């Protein structure tokens, strides 16, 4: 483990866990606000905010665009808005690839649910494809956004629609039941997440839909005929066991899924862009995007 990763993990342990209890989630969510596009990105890109299907969509087009397209779905347990750390990931990817990044701001629970999110993300993907016909299109997401990204490609496969060139998932929330028996032993090692708060958020997001449905817990799909998926997962994250399970299940169906593990990484360690572990992960993603033919 790098020194910077170790120090970042210690800093996270000094912060009270938002997901320890439903009450802690509610207190934190009551103060929620969206982080606006940082000035550094506004200098690097042309920024546009549109409305698609009643929800905002931010598009960042680098002033030196490579012509590639990336749709990024932010995390936040489906109840928290886009935060500064998400912009760190997005900024790093833009700088490494020159890709235009589209950020759909899907509706958050409890006001909204997965029933609205899936058609919204689909509408955004179609809008990007119309805007840049023939351009390589990629999809990425972290945590809850990673789960939503996987559900989105499952949804498109079911409807026999075109898929992104590749999907990049950073510590995705794949099983909202949190029933994997390998999770409890990891709770003490995870400085950020806990089971009670996550299950509370999952029920808000599902809004009556079974938690084990593929729309809410995409790991429960067959995982057949998926586009290439690359997972980046930290070992000190209670979502790690389900990332391993997804990779094994996908391998059994011959779907192209790669799992890259930072053994001492915390949840969405990729956002800690000052660490060598994050830089290695982002370099892998950038190489995949940059190698795409136009």
Q: Give the integer Cα–Cα distance in Å for 268 and 231.
A: 11
Enclosing H/E stretch for 47? strand 45-52
Which pLDDT value is given to residue 42?
A: 96
Please confirm, yes or no, whether 143 is among the known catalytic residues: yes
Q: What pTM does this model have?
A: 0.97
CA distance 171 to 240: 7
Cα separation, 193 vs 160, whole angstroms: 36
Per-residue pLDDT tens digits for 218-236: 999 999 999 999 999 999 9
Element (DSSP H or E) covering residue 25? helix 22-29
The domain spans of the chain are 3-290
Exactly one of 143, 217, 255, 278 is catalytic; which is it? 143
Contact call for residues 219 and 246 (beta carbons, < 8 A): yes
CA–CA distance, 271 with 275 (Å, rounded to integer): 9
- Cβ atoms of 48 and 42 within 8 Å: the answer is no
Q: Print the SS3 string covering 233-267.
A: EECCCCCHHHHHHHHHHHHHCCCCEEEEEECCCCC
Alpha-carbon gap, residue 146 to 140, rounded angstroms: 7
Measured CA to CA in angstroms, residue 162 lies from 10, 104, 219, 229 at distances of 43, 19, 21, 15
| CA–CA gap between residue 95 and residue 99 (Å, rounded) | 8
Domain 3-290: homologous superfamily in CATH: Alpha/Beta hydrolase fold, catalytic domain (3.40.50.1820)
**pLDDT at res. 293:** 66
**Tens-digit pLDDT profile for residues 29-54:** 999 888 999 999 999 999 999 999 99
pLDDT reported for residue 294:
61
Residue 32 has a pLDDT of: 84
The answer, yes or no, to whether the previous bond of 110 is cis (omega within 30 of 0) is: yes
Who's near 258: CB < 8 A, 6+ residues apart? 228, 229, 230, 231, 247
Q: What distance in Å separates the CA atoms of residue 35 and residue 274, rounded to the nearest whole number?
A: 20
What was the pLDDT predicted at 33? 87
Q: Which residues, given as ranges, of the chain have pLDDT below 70?
A: 293-294
**How many residues belong to the chain?**
294
Would you say 135 and 106 are in contact if contact means Cβ atoms under 8 Å apart?
A: no
Task: Tell me the C-alpha to C-alpha distance, in Å, between residue 206 and each of 83, 86, 177.
Answer: 22, 23, 11
- Tokens representing 90 are 């997005």
Burial category of 271 from C-beta neighbours within 10 Å (exposed 0-12, middle 13-18, buried 19 and up):
buried
């Amino acid at each position: 483990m790098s020194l910077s990763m170790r120090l970042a993990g210690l800093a996270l342990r000094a912060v009270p866990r938002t997901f320890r209890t439903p009450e802690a989630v509610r207190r934190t969510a009551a103060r929620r606000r969206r982080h606006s596009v940082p000035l550094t990105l506004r200098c690097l890109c042309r920024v546009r905010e549109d409305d698609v299907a009643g929800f905002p969509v931010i598009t960042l087009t680098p002033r030196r665009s490579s012509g590639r397209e990336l749709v990024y779905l932010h995390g936040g347990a489906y109840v928290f808005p886009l935060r500064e750390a998400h912009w760190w990931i997005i900024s790093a990817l833009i700088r490494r690839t020159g890709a235009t990044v589209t950020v759909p701001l899907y509706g958050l629970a409890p006001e909204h649910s997965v029933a609205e999110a899936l058609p919204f993300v689909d509408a955004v993907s179609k809008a990007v494809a119309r805007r840049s016909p023939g351009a390589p299109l990629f999809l990425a997401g972290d945590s809850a956004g990673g789960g939503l990204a996987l559900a989105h490609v499952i949804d498109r496969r079911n409807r026999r629609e075109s898929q992104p060139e590749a999907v990049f998932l950073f510590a995705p929330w794949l099983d909202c039941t949190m029933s994997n028996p390998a999770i409890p032993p990891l709770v003490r090692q995870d400085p950020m997440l806990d089971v009670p708060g996550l299950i509370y958020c999952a029920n808000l997001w599902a809004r009556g839909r079974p938690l084990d449905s593929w729309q809410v817990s995409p790991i429960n799909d067959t995982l057949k005929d998926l586009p290439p998926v690359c997972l980046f997962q930290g070992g000190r994250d209670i979502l790690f066991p389900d990332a391993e399970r997804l990779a094994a299940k996908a391998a059994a169906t011959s779907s192209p899924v790669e799992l890259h593990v930072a053994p001492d990484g915390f949840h969405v360690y990729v956002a800690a862009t000052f660490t060598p572990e994050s830089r290695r992960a982002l370099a892998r993603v950038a190489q995949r995007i940059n190698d795409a033919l136009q």
